[in-house]
């Protein structure tokens, strides 16, 4: 907060900002512990990075991006797969599961395809995870005429639009409370 205000031209210090934040009941949203969701150690084919960090789209169904994240519940992990349309940054497909398998990613993709009916040539960008590289997932992409794009190895910036979505939903909703069950977390996400 202090650094942001200094960039805007305000002459402030950390102690003053801390005091003002406490007086106004403003708290810091802390990061939670990290859990790896991408399994790049597989023998499937890897697509080139066609998106190349260009997250702007002139029209709907020009560029889609997808990824998988996770939520801790008292029952165990809940995995969330989403597909975003980069034109509006709107979630157009999503699915949840207690297992991070290819059917999770496929269900999110099928929802997006059913909702949007994308034209041939739509760029579909994900990381190199085994779910997205699987034969079944790639077959669906080919059947619908997608141009397949994948991030570089271990580079979260190549899929920054979806990573930003996950950070926002976690900070503003999911990290705000403890989830008793996967179903409770799923209903809140929906």
Please tell me the number of Cα atoms within 13 Å of 137 on its side-chain side: 26
The end-to-end CA distance of the chain, in Å, is 31
Residue 47 pLDDT: 84
Residue 30 pLDDT: 60
Residue 152 predicted with pLDDT over 70:
yes
Residue 148 pLDDT: 94
Residue 42 pLDDT: 46
| C-alpha to C-alpha distance for 106 and 127, rounded to whole angstroms | 14
Q: Identify the band that residue 32 occupies on the pLDDT scale cut at 50, 70 and 90.
A: low
Contact present, 1 and 14 (Cβ < 8 Å): no
pLDDT digits (tens, 9 = 90+) for 2-17: 777 777 788 888 888 8
> What φ, ψ does residue 170 adopt, rounded to 5°?
-70, -50
Q: Which of 36-40, 64-68, 133-137, 174-178 has the lowest mean pLDDT?
A: 36-40
Q: What are the residues facing 96 on neighbouring strands?
A: 80
| Domain architecture of the chain: domains with CATH | 1-30 (no CATH), 63-189 (3.30.420.10)
Q: Identify the band that residue 110 occupies on the pLDDT scale cut at 50, 70 and 90.
A: very high
pLDDT digits (tens, 9 = 90+) for 72-102: 999 999 999 999 999 999 999 999 999 988 9
The pTM score is 0.75
Percent of the chain scored above 90 by pLDDT?
56
């Amino acid at each position: 907060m202090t650094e942001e205000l200094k960039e805007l031209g305000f002459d402030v210090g950390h102690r003053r900002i801390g005091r003002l934040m406490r007086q106004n009941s403003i708290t810091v949203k802390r990061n939670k512990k990290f859990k790896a969701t991408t399994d790049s150690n597989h023998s499937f084919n890897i697509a080139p990075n066609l998106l190349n960090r260009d997250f702007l789209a002139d029209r709907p169904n020009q560029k889609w991006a997808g990824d998988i994240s996770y939520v801790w519940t008292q029952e165990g992990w809940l995995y969330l797969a989403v597909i975003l349309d980069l034109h509006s940054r709107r979630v157009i497909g999503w699915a949840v599961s207690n297992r991070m398998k290819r059917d999770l990613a496929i269900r999110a993709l099928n929802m997006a395809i059913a909702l949007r009916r994308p034209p041939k040539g739509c760029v579909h960008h994900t990381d190199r995870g085994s779910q997205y590289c699987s034969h079944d997932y790639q077959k669906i992409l080919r059947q619908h005429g997608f141009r397949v794009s994948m991030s570089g190895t271990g580079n979260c910036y190549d899929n920054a639009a979806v990573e930003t979505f996950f950070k926002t939903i976690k900070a503003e909703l999911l990290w705000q409370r403890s989830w008793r069950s996967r179903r409770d977390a799923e209903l809140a996400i929906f």
